[in-house]
Structure 1
């Protein structure tokens, strides 16, 4: 029997300004749940989360919270009130039974000082402080609204591990696919005011969503055909008598109303980059460039050649110097030493992560045209600002809206519209994924993949990098930067290979030193100077293939049982148990394969 829920939304409704935002929202949160709440920007995800947290009152439906259950909500824009230090702000979120040490632990992990003044924090630092306040108490329910925004990759990976270690139930909104895949076990899709639930993590969501949309489209086509048949009967099927069949006529009116009420999925962003002349084959060449600030070396002896058509990703911790290196390469900052040569016919478009190109007091239209009327030139042709903004999901009523009144996602789309309208063959994107929904990210990925020019991209979104870049530049130690072929996952694989190669000579030296005379007992007995695997390593090498085969068989058996389409409806507990079994077996399989590969490489090197 399933435990009682900690939190439940049942048939929740909410209307803003006469327009229904939420019409039938259901959310059931059990102890230990890990739920992804997904949907388009503007679909009401954040509002639904605020209703769950008790911060917004619903117009109708039921909101239940288990008596005594503690709930913590991470807002997109934290309010520090009158707190004088970050430590005091975070500690104020603790309950009487919570561990005060958690304040120090979370702040140190997120790179913040307890004594820092909240008034002097940057936007990203403010988000990390709010995240520390949310996680420090270890509440029963954690509601996270875009927790990875403005976090660097090491911090995102720490957050994943922290969330996996907590006993709290978690509901999270995020555009970061890899993050959602790593932390969730169920997905709730909020679409056109209603919710649908998939009892799988985000990894299975997109295929499930696409299947539902295809079925919905087929149903609408059937409804259209039925309306046509009924209209034909109404016009031609009763010519022999003047009295209409009123019941059938009423049924036709009902069908027409159903068709009007069948709201299709909201429109897609139409995205295309402004075209210009072709650049030269060489775009940027840097030789031995270096840059230091306040005695700290950010870039040291870095060289690269960027050619037309390259898509280069820059990754690394905040403060490592990604933006500094990028701005040196495009000529916005002079290097302290070394040289940079740029190619011919370069036209640059730059998207700044700080959104500095947008002023809060200007209207959406003026931000796009810089106050020069209501027309702009896109790909050499004039476009009316309303028509162009529709491509980015802005309504005609929004063109006079001040930029300061836009949501984070709307500001991100407006800046993309402004950047992509500029004719360019060198596209520089600094954190373009912040606040974008997944559908917009998909289109941006397609645009970058098919872009005829050159792209320089700074991002902490691992999935986005894997789908877009041809090589990845990342920091090493003491200001060194290394370029790897492929995306983020390719970079990690190459670094692991480098680490193994670096560890092997060290391990051999350590083994030799431990024997005193430079040889182990096993080496002496064989008369050979080469090292040998230990008994434990030999045993593992012989038995890991059997373990790998067993895990593969276990996964295949569980997946075969889950293939039964009636399993979830008939035996939901068995379905959930199989999901957990497959997740655990896949993790064990990956670990066993890595261990076997490392031992096999070590054995081959010793024997060689």
Structure 2
């Protein structure tokens, strides 16, 4: 019996049908990724599974006794609970009693002691101490300080606490909605490993292509109200989807040709209505109804950047620049960087390392506390805010974009606001709705519409990929590549960085800033590493990391390539280096054989559990090959 069954679900909001007789089965152990356009109803479908939303028709069935846990898309704001209280909330009554017990145990007055005894008795009756041990165990495993309040944690650590809350109840089904939002790359890598070790089923929504490739064993697409399953890897899904759309286009064209013929025939007059032709007339009516009910694929976003006159050749030049807050802790130090017109910079680093501060220095929004930052001429800057804070939630899309004007000028042409918003997939009805009811993806598209409605020659994008569907994301990538001006991107989306940027700027958290040619993968191949893939201590929103100190007397530690130079390989490392080429060749041969098997159409006719196992094994072998290649390059550099 399937763990989760979605049976003929239908749901409409007004005249718009989000779900139209949609069905899906999910078995234990599967990791199913739900893809679809922004506004198609992916988050709503997850809420149907939890019971928050009731379908108009159809049923949601869970296996008897199964437990469902949710990692929400939105992070809590100003949540004063401690991490312990948040995680223990997974057990409603017991969690409240455990949190109260911890608070009362720190007091010594008589009234507190009386209440403490009552709470203790109730906890014993509920087997609360066993649950207390589970909460403390998972907090320790996730390296979370139980007394840290959520309001003081960075977005990545808040996400970690919420995942601990979801997993502590040992759910059979885990629901995740855009789980990589607000996470830096090391936190995403940690999340990937944690989810791959999770024994239950996972049903998740994500547009992070690298994350989907790493996690999903099956792709399900929500397309025009229907759920279409692809028992394939993400890359294989893209191929199958393209073929399916081509076939659909051919079938629709053939249907429309026949309908046109029948419409021409019916107009011939009285002979079409003779008794012997009534069957043909009836068939024509059915064809008309089929055509009326056909849901066309939603058009693709169609936008372009409105470029201003070219900036000066020099955009910014920093010489020995430094920036520190009042306590003297350097956020940026010894910054020597020149940005020229047309450069496309990707800024990376763990959360809290000062990426936004660096960008503000380069834009001239902050004055350096030492050194010099020289700005170029004729600069016209547009800024994309990751929190979408520039949007007024009480105003509609039209007013947010144009301030009440009916027409705006784009690339020298006068355009109606509603027509311009349709390029970003906003219907006239949706464009007049308040932003407060928009999904995260719709807000992101509206921010892009605002961003590209003014002539600019410098684009600054802070986490632009959050909530964007894949097709809009790919269009944004192509526009940024073709943009003749300067682009500065802060992003944790590895594939987006690889596809767009020409240089990667890395902040290690000590204030040092290093620039590398190429995208994220190039930075990795050049020996790029984060200070730690899993931080030992949470970072708070209110503080920047302190500089790392070397063990030597006042001298900075060597990092990256310079640290490896001069080292001699030990006998053990020499043997490891010598064995790597053969191991890599064996893995490549195994992967090639597996990929050939997966590419065979008959492969997907095998039982679902066999298909999932083979796809998982292929993914694991590909990851193992990547690790061996990185290790080989590391040892080669040291030799």
Q: TM-score, structure 1 length as denominator?
A: 0.86
Taking structure 1 as reference, are residues 361 and 121 closer, same or farther at Cα in structure 2, changes over 3 Å only?
A: farther
Stretches of structure 1 that go unaligned for 5 or more consecutive residues are 512-532
Distance 1:61 1:462 in 2: 39
Does structure 1 residue 191 correspond to structure 2 residue 223? Answer: yes
Distance 1:551 1:339 in 2: 51
**2:108 corresponding residue in structure 1:** none
Match of 1:195, SS? strand
- How many residues are paired up? 571
**2:598 corresponding residue in structure 1:** 562
**2:552 corresponding residue in structure 1:** none
Moved more, 263-272 or 328-337: 263-272
**1:68 corresponding residue in structure 2:** 65
Match of 2:248, SS? helix
Distance 2:486 2:79 in 1: 47
Match of 1:245, SS? helix
Distance 1:28 1:298 in 2: 50
Q: How does 1:161-172 map to 2 (within 5 A)?
A: 161-172=193-204
- Tell me by how many angstroms 1:115 deviates: 3.3
- Tell me by how many angstroms 1:28 deviates: 2.0
Q: How does 1:375-454 map to 2 (within 5 A)?
A: 375-454=407-486
**1:505 corresponding residue in structure 2:** 566
Distance 1:413 1:368 in 2: 11
- Tell me by how many angstroms 1:26 deviates: 2.4
**1:525 corresponding residue in structure 2:** none
Distance 1:548 1:201 in 2: 22
Alignment check: 8 A CA contact 2:192 2:214 kept = yes
Q: How does 1:73-472 map to 2 (within 5 A)?
A: 73-77=70-74, 84-94=81-91, 99-105=134-140, 108=143, 113-118=145-150, 127-236=159-268, 245-293=277-325, 294-371=327-404, 373-472=405-504
Alignment check: 8 A CA contact 2:156 2:351 kept = no
Alignment check: 8 A CA contact 1:287 1:340 kept = yes
Alignment check: 8 A CA contact 1:312 1:472 kept = yes
Higher relative contact order (CA 8 A, sep 6+): 2
RMSD (Å) for aligned C-alpha atoms: 2.8
Does structure 1 residue 6 correspond to structure 2 residue 6? Answer: no
**2:121 corresponding residue in structure 1:** none
Distance 1:241 1:471 in 2: 71
Taking structure 1 as reference, are residues 62 and 503 closer, same or farther at Cα in structure 2, changes over 3 Å only?
A: same
Alignment check: 8 A CA contact 2:232 2:615 kept = yes
- Tell me by how many angstroms 1:470 deviates: 0.5
- Tell me by how many angstroms 1:263 deviates: 1.2
- Tell me by how many angstroms 1:9 deviates: 1.2
Taking structure 1 as reference, are residues 478 and 135 closer, same or farther at Cα in structure 2, changes over 3 Å only?
A: same
Deviation string, structure 1 residues 4-36 (Cα, Å, up to 9, x no partner): 322221222222224321113223222221111
Taking structure 1 as reference, are residues 16 and 120 closer, same or farther at Cα in structure 2, changes over 3 Å only?
A: farther
Alignment check: 8 A CA contact 2:497 2:519 kept = yes
- Tell me by how many angstroms 1:598 deviates: 5.2
Distance 2:417 2:617 in 1: 53
Q: How does 1:39-54 map to 2 (within 5 A)?
A: 39-54=36-51
Does structure 1 residue 56 correspond to structure 2 residue 92? Answer: no
Deviation string, structure 1 residues 325-368 (Cα, Å, up to 9, x no partner): 00010011111111112222111111122323212233322211
Alignment check: 8 A CA contact 2:8 2:57 kept = yes
Distance 2:286 2:337 in 1: 66
- Tell me by how many angstroms 1:228 deviates: 2.1
Does structure 1 residue 26 correspond to structure 2 residue 59? Answer: no
Taking structure 1 as reference, are residues 366 and 506 closer, same or farther at Cα in structure 2, changes over 3 Å only?
A: same
**1:553 corresponding residue in structure 2:** 589
Moved more, 202-211 or 216-225: 202-211
Deviation string, structure 1 residues 164-210 (Cα, Å, up to 9, x no partner): 12212111111111111111111111111111111123232222222
Residue from 541, 555, 579 that aligns with 2:615: 579
Alignment check: 8 A CA contact 1:298 1:478 kept = yes
- Tell me by how many angstroms 1:380 deviates: 2.1
Moved more, 210-219 or 545-554: 545-554
Moved more, 239-248 or 16-25: 239-248
Distance 1:380 1:435 in 2: 30
Alignment check: 8 A CA contact 1:280 1:344 kept = yes
- Tell me by how many angstroms 1:224 deviates: 1.3
Stretches of structure 2 that go unaligned for 5 or more consecutive residues are 95-127, 530-558
Match of 2:601, SS? coil
Distance 2:197 2:288 in 1: 53
Moved more, 335-344 or 200-209: 200-209
- Tell me by how many angstroms 1:500 deviates: 6.5
Match of 2:45, SS? helix
**1:36 corresponding residue in structure 2:** 33
Deviation string, structure 1 residues 97-125 (Cα, Å, up to 9, x no partner): 6512245236645xxx5334456777776
Alignment check: 8 A CA contact 2:31 2:203 kept = yes
Match of 1:421, SS? coil
Deviation string, structure 1 residues 443-495 (Cα, Å, up to 9, x no partner): 11111011011111111111111111010101135210100111111111112
Distance 2:204 2:457 in 1: 37
Alignment check: 8 A CA contact 1:83 1:89 kept = no
Alignment check: 8 A CA contact 1:71 1:140 kept = yes
Distance 1:452 1:310 in 2: 9
Taking structure 1 as reference, are residues 135 and 474 closer, same or farther at Cα in structure 2, changes over 3 Å only?
A: farther
Distance 1:246 1:83 in 2: 72
- Tell me by how many angstroms 1:237 deviates: 9.7
